[in-house]
Amino acid sequence: MQQTFIQAYPKLLQPSVAVAGLWLAHGDEPLLHQWLIDALRPHWREQNYAIKRIELISIKSWQDVLAELGSLSLFDDASALIVTGNHKPDKAVITELERFAVEAQAGTHSHSVLWLTSKLDRRAQTGKWFTPFAQYGQVIDCNLYDERGRQQLLQVQAQQFGLTLSQDAWQLLMSHTEHHLLSAYQTLWRLSYLFAPELIAANSEATNSEMVSTSTNPSPMATSTKSIALDINDLQAALVSDAQFSVFDLSNAMLAGHSTQVAKIVLQLQASDEPTTLVLWAISKDMRHILALHDGQDPQTLGIWRSKQGLYQQACRRLSSTQTADWTEIIYRCDQAIKGIIRQPAWELLLQAALAVSGKRLFNL
């Protein structure tokens, strides 16, 4: 059976999961591999598995895997082997793995093998070694192919932390962390201790009681029914900053056309080391909204807060289509500067972009 990570992961968080047999997880995102292990580990412990790791340093290392599966423990009911490395099994090992998988399906044994390997293309998945995993086991694609999948996965993690983020908050989070999965996850982890410490403590107590209980109580991996709702203001407040002004002050000054205040705020944000990605997010958001309003879209449909609709309308009346014609290019150059693709200072371009929204242009790009 073949599944994507986002399809398989929520199922593994359920109270009861059959873990015996062959598991293959392939992908180049180490964090997904670790999350998969973290999801399986409580099931292994609950079912009294001995958990061991084996690294494949050559094809011969597969013999160590088979030998470990053939050994018996006086204290554990079965073995769970976490195998890492990219060495493919030979013909003889393939035969043994197939027999192992068939017997696991029949209930002859309860051993589990999880093989973590790098991304497999379609050609690699046509190899004979792949057949036992695809036909008799579980194959999980641990790759993220678009931003939608990344956000879906992070939403699952947010639910685990007892958090629910608004769409604007999600956009800010992804922009602030530069769409980096680990950074976004670490931010959610910090948010959980800031906004939902009671839920974290409750989940911890549930986990501890489950580890020593053999009853049919809900699994500690099950998502909490309680949740703390966070909007963009909550997230902005949680992103630690020493700035006298925030990006929301910058937004208000830009929309009101106060170019002198805009320059003052940008310089203060730069002096306090405000993340350039966060400043770019605020500027580009206002630019996109103004362009959409010029095209006749409704402010409420765009998600513009009622308290700021007047400022946006004021900006639209002040800015002509000629003044907004190169905004896409300005944002693109800001992004390039932040990433180091071009040598022009990022803060210089951010100042130009912010002033452009206020209606003031220093010079052409």
| Whether the Cβ atoms of residue 119 and residue 33 lie closer than 8 Å to each other | no
Asked if pLDDT for residue 209 goes beyond 50, the answer is no
Asked if pLDDT for residue 302 goes beyond 60, the answer is yes
Q: How confident is the model at residue 319 (pLDDT cuts 50, 70, 90)?
A: very high
Residues 77-120: pLDDT tens digits?
788 999 999 999 999 999 999 999 999 999 888 999 999 999 99
Q: How confident is the model at residue 16 (pLDDT cuts 50, 70, 90)?
A: confident
Number of H helices, E strands in the chain: 16, 8
Asked if pLDDT for residue 314 goes beyond 50, the answer is yes
Asked if pLDDT for residue 225 goes beyond 60, the answer is no
Axis crossing angle, helix 30-46 with helix 197-211, rounded to the nearest 10: 50
Mean pLDDT for the stretch of residues 1-16: 92
Q: How confident is the model at residue 363 (pLDDT cuts 50, 70, 90)?
A: low
Q: Could you give the domains of the chain?
A: 2-141 (3.40.50.300), 147-237 (no CATH), 241-358 (1.20.272.10)
- Tell me the three-class secondary structure of 87-113, residue by residue: CCCCHHHHHHHHHHHHHHHHCCCCCEE
What is the distance between the alpha carbons of residues 279 and 352, in angstroms, rounded to a whole number?
Answer: 12
What is the distance between the alpha carbons of residues 257 and 312, in angstroms, rounded to a whole number?
Answer: 10
Asked if pLDDT for residue 188 goes beyond 70, the answer is yes
Asked if pLDDT for residue 28 goes beyond 50, the answer is yes
Q: How confident is the model at residue 59 (pLDDT cuts 50, 70, 90)?
A: very high
Give residue 73's pLDDT.
56
Higher per-residue confidence, 205 vs 121: 121
Asked if pLDDT for residue 221 goes beyond 60, the answer is no
217 SS3 class: coil
Sequence-ordered list of residues with C-beta below 8 angstroms from that of 1, at least 6 positions apart, any chain = 134, 137, 138, 139
What is the distance between the alpha carbons of residues 137 and 131, in angstroms, rounded to a whole number?
Answer: 9
Residues 134-148: pLDDT tens digits?
999 999 999 988 888
Higher per-residue confidence, 19 vs 203: 19
Read off the tokens for 193.
Answer: 């201790």
Read off the tokens for 173.
Answer: 């989070």
- Round the average pLDDT of the chain to a whole number and report it: 85
Q: How confident is the model at residue 70 (pLDDT cuts 50, 70, 90)?
A: confident
Closest CA to 238 of 278, 195, 270, 283: 195
CA atoms within 13 A on the CB side of 329: 6
3-state DSSP: the chain helix, strand, coil percent, rounded to 5? 55, 10, 35
